[in-house]
Amino acid sequence: MKIVVVGPGAIGCLFAAFLAKSKEEIWLLDKDKERAAKLNETGISLEGESGSWKIKVRTTSCAGEIGKADLILICVKSFHTKQASEEIKPLLEKDTKIITLQNGMGNIETISETAGEDRVIAGVTNEGATLIDTGKVRHAGRGQTIIGTVNGKTPVQMRSIREIFNKSGLECKMTHDIKSLLWSKLVINAGINALSALTRLPNGKLIEYEGTRRILRDTVAEAVRVAKRKRVKLIFDDPLAKAENVCEGTRDNLSSMLQDVLRKKRTEVEFINGVIVRLGQELGIAVPANKFLLDLVRTIESSYTQAAREKTET
């Protein structure tokens, strides 16, 4: 099977490295030509939960160089999903499947618009990863990766994908209710990511202070109310306890949003807390905690531009 991982971020590099241990043909597609050349030369280095090791992965910035693919993993930020969907067109053939392993909501719909909904498989991964430098990843926590289609069907290729993932050391399962998983992940991310980005705290520290613990609980409770109004059944009985357990289980991990803020990069807050805020407004549900976090993260992002402008003027 020819597998293409799109996006050399923490999760993209993690999955590409593990899959490269299999006997399948693995490629990493990066929109940045210079970075792709560097990755192709140096490979990917991992440290942490899975030990310290390094592996070469064929990397390119040109999809045409790869040829047709059997499976494509989309691991880019949600605001790059549209661009990635266009870039993978040369890789598509009749039976190509696409898995989105992204945060937030809306990615499935965006990919489907370009590639067709029959190709798209949604994925939720609990693997924890922190990007230290180009191609260098700290594997911060082990976890399951669960895949499924929105319509609940099980394409033949899904079983092969699960086997390849498991063979590579990535624990993978299938589900007939991926929507519940996606919403459950959204609820947890809404509580953790923006709050960690604002406080610069690793996940575990968020529940050690009364102030951050209270905000986390309020944010999650609002997201749960929105999910219930949308008639979504979450996969856990006590979402608040689950959010705190996730913080504890990934206590040393820096959330992806905190990693973005530290690098002064655009975050995915619009696709996480922003989704809760927009749906809350549509449904007439008050979501002040999520709105508060959304506004503050937006302010931080705006400050990047302002600081850069002031630096240029001086």
Whether 94 sits among the annotated catalytic residues: the reply is no
Which residue in 146, 185, 155, 127 sits closest to 71, CA to CA?
155
Task: Give me the residue label for tokens 């690793």.
Answer: 202
- Reading the block at residue 4, the tokens are 């293409």
Say if CB 60 and CB 36 are below 8 A apart: yes
Selecting among 77, 97, 179, 185, the annotated active-site residue is 185
Backbone angles phi, psi at 184, to 5 degrees: -65, -40
Mark out the alpha helices in the chain (DSSP H runs).
10-19, 33-42, 81-87, 107-115, 156-167, 178-199, 210-229, 239-249, 256-262, 273-283, 288-313
How many other CB atoms are found less than 10 A from the CB of residue 292?
Answer: 18
For residue 59, count CB atoms less than 10 angstroms from its CB and return exposed for 0-12, middle for 13-18, buried for 19 or more.
buried
Backbone angles phi, psi at 49, to 5 degrees: -55, -35
Say if CB 84 and CB 74 are below 8 A apart: yes
Residues known to be catalytic:
185
